[in-house]
Amino acid sequence: MYRLMLKDLRLHKRFVVGFGIAYVIYMAIFHSRANNPGAVSIFGAFLYAIIPLLIFTREDKFKAAAFNLSLPVTRKEFLQARYVLGWLVMLVLYAGTSLLTIAVPGTKLGLSAIFQVKLVLLVIFFMAVVFGLLMPLVVAFGFAGMIVFLVFIQVLGIVSILLANLFQPAIRTAIQGMGAFLGSVQSGLGPVGSAIALLVALLLFSYGSFRLSLYLYQRKDV
Amino acid sequence: MMEYALEIKGLRKEYKGFTLKDVSFALPRGTIMGLVGPNGAGKTTVIKLILNLIRRQAGEITVFGEDVIAREKAIKSRIGFVHETPSFVEDAKLRDIAAAVAPLYERWDGGLFRSLISEFGLPLGKKFKKLSHGMKMKFSLALALAHEADLLVLDEPTSGLDPVFRRELLERLSGLIQDEGKAVLFSTHITSDLETTADYITFLHAGEIVFSLPKDEIHETWAVVKAGPELLNGKLRPLFRAIRETPHYIEALTSDIRTLKAALPAGAVIEKASIEDIMVFMDEGAAHV
């Protein structure tokens, strides 16, 4: 797996380094000016998840899939390496952005504001969800799969706004119900217990995403 | 018992508008096989199936006696593959591509790779996208040869190469199989390459195997017969694989010249069929019998 991760990093190093540095600087400046670190973190998490996927879609762009799969690796190993590399890239981007945010002159955010447990968990939650949802689409449809997902998110947003106006009481009740459920889980498990429960749930979700990606990949003709 | 580097039985793959049907052939160790056929015959599909790049609907493929799906990793480490249009990450330098690929092969020979790079005149510091098609093909060949593969699977390896390098490559392939354990399967449109290099020819047409035979046997049994209209009398007709009619005479391709010879009308001309003759006859322009 390590060799496969290294292969991807070697082949895409200009893209990873160039794009990664530019992105970290941009996000850190954006972050440092924010009044609401939570909202910016969620936005950032979404983008952290997109970047490793952009690396993987380059295989699609260069039609290099046939060569990759002619190498002495199984599709399962290939995918395992991509999930691990994806998480490494996301975490490095997150850590890099957070540390640089503190160092930006005139920043509004200090170490304690950025590394609140709840905020870190929120970022991990969004990274896991976006990456976990997008990976099977990228595996099955390449770059087009990612674009379809992003368009779908936009459409979902518009539909939600429309529905919110139509079914405001029902939606409010549903959100309140979900909030109450999460609140009761949190009070039942305690802060540490609920954090562990969340991480376990995300781990299971990521594993489900991996199994779905593998199912699709093993049936894909390249 | 003959040991095969590659054995294919009853292979089937369906696409919309094209089906590879019941393809079976075997490549003995220590030999070179040319896979020929017109465009769209299914050559690349067969090669992709060997490498498990696409899924088969039926059939069996074994390399050195092992199933290519069950033992995918071990088998691929013994295969050197060159795609008809070599595609790597375009903005990566050749040096980086080689460095990324090398650790995946246990038998990667860095010294051999460097000598091939120097022999082929490839600039390691150049980006892949800056290379011409011929240079890309050479680089792809260097990667395929540097891990001392036992089976080389080459899809149109000579296309886009200059005649000098083409000849060198064919000589290299011939030299490679001096090691009796190795074998080469290559698809090509350039039939002269087959005449000089191949030991076996497998001919595909419209997704089906027309024949898979030793080249010498093809030269001994396949022929083009030229004669007047009496050539097509009821008795002889079943012995022809394809017929071409002109206003003045008839040309017909046979795969059984020994049987046909005795029954031919006086004045009939028999010519050895080249691989190109067979391809042309079996493709458009000849009425299949």
- What's the pLDDT tens digit per position in A167-215? 777 777 887 888 788 778 777 777 788 888 888 989 999 999 999 999 9
B 237-276 residues inside an 8 A Cβ radius of A:
none
pLDDT at B284: 58
pLDDT at B108: 93
pLDDT at B185: 95
> How many C-beta neighbours within 10 Å does residue A113 have?
14
Calculate what percentage of chain A has a pLDDT beyond 70: 100
Report the candidate in B3, B23, B27, B8 with the shortest Cα–Cα distance to residue B151.
B27
CB-based contact, B102 to chain A, within 8 Å: no
Long-range contacts of A124-127, Cβ-Cβ distance < 8 Å, separation of 24 or more = A124/A45, A124/A199, A124/A202, A125/A45, A125/A198, A125/A202, A126/A42, A126/A45, A126/A46, A126/A49, A127/A45, A127/A48, A127/A49, A127/A90, A127/A94
Cα dihedral B160→B162→B163→B168 (10° resolution): -100
pLDDT at A180: 82
Instruction: Give per-residue pLDDT as tens, A7-51.
Output: 888 888 888 888 888 888 888 888 888 777 777 788 888 888 888
Residues in Cβ contact with A126 at an 8 Å cutoff, skipping those fewer than 6 apart: A42, A45, A46, A49
Nearest CA in chain A to B71: A74
Of A98-102, A151-155, A185-189, B204-208, the range with the lowest mean pLDDT is A185-189
* Structure token digits, residue B41: 């015959």
B 39-98 residues inside an 8 A Cβ radius of A:
48, 51-55, 72-74, 76-77, 79, 81, 83, 85-92, 96-97
Do the Cβ atoms of A74 and A149 come closer than 8 Å?
no
How many structural domains are present in chain A?
1
- Say yes or no for a CB contact (<8 Å) between B48 and A59: no
The most distant pair of C-alpha atoms in chain A lies apart, rounded to whole Å, by: 57
pLDDT below 50 — which residues of chain B?
Answer: 285-287, 289
Q: Kindly list the residues from chain B whose CB atom is less than 8 angstroms away from the CB atom of residue A72.
A: 73-74, 76-77, 104-105
When scoring B87, B89, B131, B154 by the number of chain A Cβ atoms within 10 A, the one with the most, hence best to mutate, is B89
Which residue from B74, B96, B101 is facing A71, i.e. has the nearest CB? B101
In three-state secondary structure terms, A16 is helix
Q: Kindly list the residues from chain A whose CB atom is less than 8 angstroms away from the CB atom of residue B77.
A: 72
Average pLDDT, chain A: 86
- Say yes or no for a CB contact (<8 Å) between A62 and B87: yes
- Say yes or no for a CB contact (<8 Å) between A66 and B53: yes
pLDDT at B1: 57
**Closest-CA distance of chain B to residue A147, Å:** 21
- Say yes or no for a CB contact (<8 Å) between A10 and B100: yes
Do the Cβ atoms of B185 and B154 come closer than 8 Å?
yes
* Residue scoring higher pLDDT (B35 or A2): B35
A 173-212 residues inside an 8 A Cβ radius of B:
none
Mean pLDDT of A151-180: 80
Distance, in Å, from the CA atom of B147 to the CA atom of A124, rounded to the nearest integer, reads 41
Distance, in Å, from the CA atom of A176 to the CA atom of B100, rounded to the nearest integer, reads 52
Distances (CA, A) of B245 to A36, A88, A152, B233, B234: 84, 69, 61, 14, 16
Question: Any idea how long chain A is?
Answer: 222
Domain that holds residue A76: 2-218
Do the Cβ atoms of A127 and A81 come closer than 8 Å?
no
pLDDT at A135: 93
CB-based contact, B174 to chain A, within 8 Å: no
Q: Kindly list the residues from chain B whose CB atom is less than 8 angstroms away from the CB atom of residue A3.
A: 103-104
pTM of the model: 0.83
- Apex CA B77: angle with CA B72 and CA B82, to 5°? 100
- Say yes or no for a CB contact (<8 Å) between A73 and B86: no
* Structure token digits, residue A21: 């540095």
Report the candidate in B113, B165, B95, B168 with the shortest Cα–Cα distance to residue B134.
B165
Provide the strand spans (E) within chain B: 4-15, 18-28, 32-36, 58-63, 66-67, 79-82, 151-155, 183-187, 200-205, 208-214, 223-227, 240-245, 250-254, 269-272, 287-288
Calculate what percentage of chain A has a pLDDT beyond 90: 22
